[in-house]
Structure 1
Amino acid sequence: MTSWHRKPLCGFDLETSGVDPEQDRIVTASVVRYGGGAPTEGSSWLANPGVEIPEEATGVHGVTTEHARAYGRPAAAVVEEITTALALAVTAGQPIVAMNAQFDLTMLDREARRHGVRPLTDRVSPAVLDPRVLDKRVDRYRKGGRTLTDLCRHYVVQLDHAHSSEADATAACAVVWKLANRHRWIQETRLPDLHAAQVVWAREQNAGLREYFARTAGKEEWALGVRLEWPLVPFWSAA
């Protein structure tokens, strides 16, 4: 039986107006089809988020408020198309690969509810693969950062134009592929089981981060923002 990592993966990434999924908005997004012996292909979107894009966010992804207003499409249409693209990929048997999935999937969920779009988890039950969670599981004590750029450097994955949603989505898939290729037990684990395991691992990892912030002078308040749920914070929980 062919391992899941030899079949197509669905990469997903968002660039946003900020880091709070409950308040901030989608600016750019990409959904890519990666692997399975075929060239990488996908779709990207630029939304008019309907809010000012802070300079700090523009400094990360390069999109200004003026550019988004001039060239971005209505947010509701963009959110519908992203959600539909992901649902089709899941229906086709592809896992969703997302770096720090909790953020991106929660953001998409809240934007869907904001714009009257049927949320992804009301349509399908995706298997999600998060390179950050997987990497922390297989190499818990490695020193250094765990950003996508860090992981690409560690797993020797090319990442051009970091914080471009398409480049990040593609790189996240490549990191997951290399993780599975390096650790045979990952590729031999069924996707539903690997998803369920990440729910547990992410909770343990985030609980450890919360405890670290709580006992570190000057970072105590950061602990309040660390959520344990994965791959997204349920809407009822946030409410």
Structure 2
Amino acid sequence: MEHSPAAWADTLAVFDLETTGIDIDTCRVVTAHVGVIGPEGDVLEQRQWLVDPGVEIPTAATLIHGVTTERARLEGIAAARAVGEIIATLREVAARSLPIVAYNAAYDLSLLRYEAERYGHEPFRGPGWVVDPLVIDKAVDRYRSGKRTLTAACEHYGVELLAAHDAGADAIAAGRVAQAIARAFPELAACAIAELHARQVDWSRQQAESYQDWRRRNGEPEFTTSGAWPLR
């Protein structure tokens, strides 16, 4: 069912993973969150996972999200089961025509696809609509200086983030940033969700092309990067 214009930010599904590293094709899920927030950013539903990824969690990753290999093995559920449950939960919220918010969505959704293939699950091919506050913010406020991390976005848009790199806190904060962007840019709020999704596909490609060009002009002539979105 198509959302009416200006309604896309009212009720949002939110999604985040914390993982063993940054490579989407080799890294594993450690924690995950899928939830739903209402028009005021209030948490309506949430489900969280602590996962035993079946591999050592590098110290560098533990320093970011706080989960050690020992804790994951002791308290986490098996990765194959967790990945299946995460995919099923995402499918359920997508079936309700809720846009799924993920900050830097191409990372989380692509990594989840590789995890699905690793454990023999049917991959989550992506919901009908994705809202990526990172891609949108870089498009609507292109020349703002400073970092574009979730923490920085929260500071800029006045969203509270008390536990950065906790999957639940990050997912909810990303959803609230998306809602704050919609309030700050009425032309986006008035955009139908299908159109917003299509714009993000173009914006992500343009942003990657611009970044690749900058890297090549600054001493890395062979540098390449992908702007595919929301799956790489």
Same fold judged by TM-score > 0.5?
A: yes
RMSD of the alignment, in Å? 1.6
| Counterpart for residue 122 of structure 2 | 118
* Matching residue of 1:237: none
Q: Give the Cα separation in 1 of the matches to 2:127 and 2:148.
A: 27
CA deviation string 1:56-76 (max 9, x = no partner): 000100111111111110101
Q: Is residue 227 from structure 1 mapped to residue 231 from structure 2 by the alignment?
A: no
- Could you list the runs of 4 or more consecutive aligned residues of structure 1 that deviate by over 4 angstroms after TM superposition? none
Distance 1:4 1:72 in 2: 37
Report the alpha carbon displacement of residue 207 of structure 1 after superposing the two structures with TM.
1.2
Q: Following TM superposition, by how much is the alpha carbon of 1:185 offset from its aligned partner in structure 2, in angstroms? A: 1.2
Matches of 2:152 and 2:118 in 1, distance apart? 33
Match of 1:71 in 2: 75
**TM-score, structure 2 normalization:** 0.94
Does the residue aligned with 1:31 lie in a helix, a strand or coil? strand
Alpha-carbon distance in 1 for matches of 2:48, 2:211: 33
Greater helix share, 1 or 2? Answer: 1
User: Does the CA contact (< 8 Å) of 1:5 and 1:177 recur in 2?
Assistant: no
Report the CA distance between 1:211 and its aligned residue: 1.6
Letter matched to residue 53 of structure 1:
I
AA of the residue aligned to 2:106:
Q
Counterpart-to-counterpart distance in 1, 2:146 and 2:10: 31
Q: Match for 2:32 among 23, 29, 33? A: 29
C-alpha distance in 2, partners of 1:220/1:29? 37
The answer to whether the aligner puts 1:195 opposite 2:197 as a matched pair is yes
Deviations, residues 84-124 of structure 1 (Å, cap 9, x unaligned): 11111111010010000010000011101111111111xx6
Mapped to 2, the partners of 1:189 and 1:165 lie a distance apart of 28
- Offset, 1:182: 1.2
The structure with higher relative contact order (CA 8 Å, sep 6+) is 2
Determine the structure 1 residue equivalent to 2:100.
Answer: 96
> How much has 1:220 moved relative to structure 2?
5.8
Q: Within 2, Cα distance between the matches of 1:136 and 1:7?
A: 22
Aligned: 1:46 with 2:46: no
Cα distance in 1 for residues equivalent to 2:9 and 2:213: 38
Please report how far the alpha carbon of residue 28 of structure 1 lies from its aligned counterpart in structure 2 after TM superposition.
0.4
Distance in 2 (CA, whole Å) between partners of 1:51 and 1:178 is 38
Q: Is the 8 A contact 1:28 1:44 kept in 2?
A: yes
Unmatched 5+ stretches in structure 2 = none
- Contact 2:35 2:46 (8 Å CA) reproduced: yes
Task: Judge conservation of contact 1:30–1:42 (CA < 8 Å) in 2.
Answer: yes
SS in 2 for 1:4: coil
Residue 128 of structure 1 corresponds to: 130
AA aligned to 1:182 is A
Match among 157, 176, 179 for residue 177 of structure 1: 179
The percentage of aligned residue pairs carrying the same residue is: 43
Unpaired runs of 5+ residues, structure 1, are 234-239
